[in-house]
Amino acid sequence: MNKHAEPALLGGPKVRDKPYPSYNPIGEEEIKRAHAVLETGMLSGFVGRGNDQFYGGPAVRELEQTFCERFSVKHAVSMNSATSALHAAVVAAGIGPGDEVLVPPYTMSASATAIALAGATPVFVDIEADTFCIEPAKAEAALTPNTRGIMTVNLFGMASDLSTLRNLCDEKKLTLIEDNAQAPAAQFGNHFTGTLGDIGVFSLNRHKTMQVGEGGVAVTNDPHLAERLHLIRNHGEAVIADTGQTEHDDIIGCNYRLTEMQAAMAVPQLNRLDELNGHRIEMAEKLNVRLSTIEFLKTPAIRANCSHVYYLYPMLYDEGQLGISRDTFVAAMKAEGVHASNYTYPVHLMPLFIKDNRNHGSCPVTEDIEFNRIVVTNICRPPLGDSEIDEFVHAVEKITVAAPALLQWQNSQDS
């Protein structure tokens, strides 16, 4: 490969001229289990009444038991999405109107909207500049008498500073919720991410490491929270009326139930999690080595005594080293046919939360990273391999050589 070839953005040949194959970790066991459910004709085992079917069918219960065993937790409650599970977690904690929950703005919007759906107020707290997770010291500074919880997000596959957050929540009597959608089986010391919070939420969405289309699982070691999660999942107000108990009569339940087919497919996905993570880790480690001499790209930081499972591969871009903007670099990479992008629009600046411009500048680390520095790629996922790493590095090398010409292009776009 000729790194001196003209970049594709300026009319040169592309490094890659075909789309990436889709992510499809569904194997024979998943298909076999889905067929077995179809043959029973029972696609859901739930009934919204206070009887044995309140807790779902055999596949749902098997999935939840498998989650408990895999992550050494006492309770797992499956739901139809991780968004549903996040909302249920907030409500299960007794958080509602007048309450505040601290949350990072660098996340998918559901982390914040789950709080708003419960009637509470998301309070955005800036992130660590290297791990992109909520900054504990800033979280402590943001506490008010109305703060009832912290929702931390283990972003890109990296753990938050969970011990510090856990200690802060214990000291202030707050609920700690982990949005662990992107970091299944990542470790913080001797613990799995998702298990140090009062409630941890995993995702089974089509883009996640384990996927069955849609789905989520909330885990907890607290039986009180577990029962409330069950009630929120499945029309709990009707169950309370059936049983006559009033301990949880503040709950309005939803239909957040997972189907038997999804649950049946999720069991082998969970059993293959080490394999699915292992591919990403192996690819990421190769990419780390290949990019180690590229001065303008900083490879992912890994917190001490933690592991990274690389749902995405995040890099920090240094414009001063290459001389072109991050946006020009990303545009040039895309033109080469390789995957590179920024991450997401910061949630605190979305129209729903901006509220008369008051959030502008409130999270400067997040804003600088998103608008100037972050570059992510998804090429570490199966079934991609060494050739995709070669292509990615080749594209970086082409752009490095062509930086002066790309700067001229950039200036022409700005004029």
Shared domain for 350 and 263, answered yes or no, is no
Token pair, residue 167, equals: 């200690």
Question: What's residue 360's pLDDT?
Answer: 65
Task: Evaluate whether residue 102 is within a structural domain.
Answer: yes
For residues 118 and 148, what is the distance between their CA atoms, to the nearest angstrom? 12
Average pLDDT of the segment spanning 399-407: 96
Q: Is residue 7 a part of any domain in this protein?
A: no
For tokens 């990421």, name the residue: 284
Among 62-76, 208-222, 241-255, 310-324, name the one with the lowest average pLDDT.
241-255
Among residues 271, 298, 331, the one where a domain terminates is 271
* 14 found inside a domain: no
Domain count across the chain: 2
The model's pLDDT over 328-352, given as tens digits with 9 standing for 90+, comes to 999 999 999 999 999 989 999 999 9
Are 100 and 248 within one domain?
A: yes
Residue 16 forms part of a structural domain: no
Per-residue confidence (pLDDT) for residue 152, from 0 to 100: 98
255/289 same-domain check: no
Same domain as 193, residue 86:
yes
* DSSP annotation of 106: S
Residue 11 lies in a domain: no
235 and 373 belong to one structural domain = no
Average pLDDT of the segment spanning 145-150 = 98
User: What letters, b where the CB count within 10 A reaches 16 and e where it falls short, cover 222-232?
Assistant: beebbbbbbbb
Q: Report d(CA 149, CA 168) in Å as an integer.
A: 10
Quickly list DSSP for 239-282.
HHHHH---TTTT----B-PPPHHHHHHHHHHHHTHHHHHHHHHH
Closest CA relative to residue 233, chosen from 42, 44, 73: 44
* Domain co-membership, 135 together with 250: yes
CATH of the domain at 34: 3.40.640.10
Could you read off the pLDDT of 159-194 as tens digits, one per residue? 999 999 999 999 999 999 999 999 999 999 999 999
Same domain, 261 and 113: yes
Same domain, 255 and 282: no
Q: Is residue 20 part of a domain?
A: no
Is 129 in the same domain as 257?
yes
Give yes or no: residues 333 and 258 share one domain: no
- Check which CATH number belongs to the domain holding 301 and give it: 3.90.1150.10
Using a pLDDT cut of 70, give the percent of the chain over it. Answer: 99
pLDDT at 294: 97
pLDDT digit string, tens, across residues 274-330: 999 999 999 999 999 999 999 999 999 999 999 999 999 999 999 999 999 999 999
Specify whether the CB–CB gap between 97 and 120 falls below 8 A: yes
Residue 299 and residue 403 in one domain: yes
Q: Rounded distance, CA 55 to CA 44, Å? A: 11
d(C-alpha 78, C-alpha 84), whole Å:
10
Helix (H) or strand (E) holding 163: helix 162-172
Residues 294, 390, single domain; the answer is yes
The answer to whether 31 touches 262, Cβ cutoff 8 Å, is no
**In this structure, are residues 247 and 230 in contact, taking their beta carbons and an 8 Å threshold?**
no
Task: Provide the b/e sequence for 175-185 (b: ≥16 CB within 10 Å).
Answer: bbbbbbbbbbb
Give dist(CA 291, CA 165) in Å, integer. 32
Closest CA to 113 of 148, 157, 151, 160: 151
Are the CB atoms for 297 and 288 separated by under 8 Å?
no
Domain boundary residue, one of 271, 297, 315: 271
For 308, the domain range is 273-414
Residue entry with tokens 């169950």? 239
**Residue 107 corresponds to which tokens in the numbers above?**
């996340």
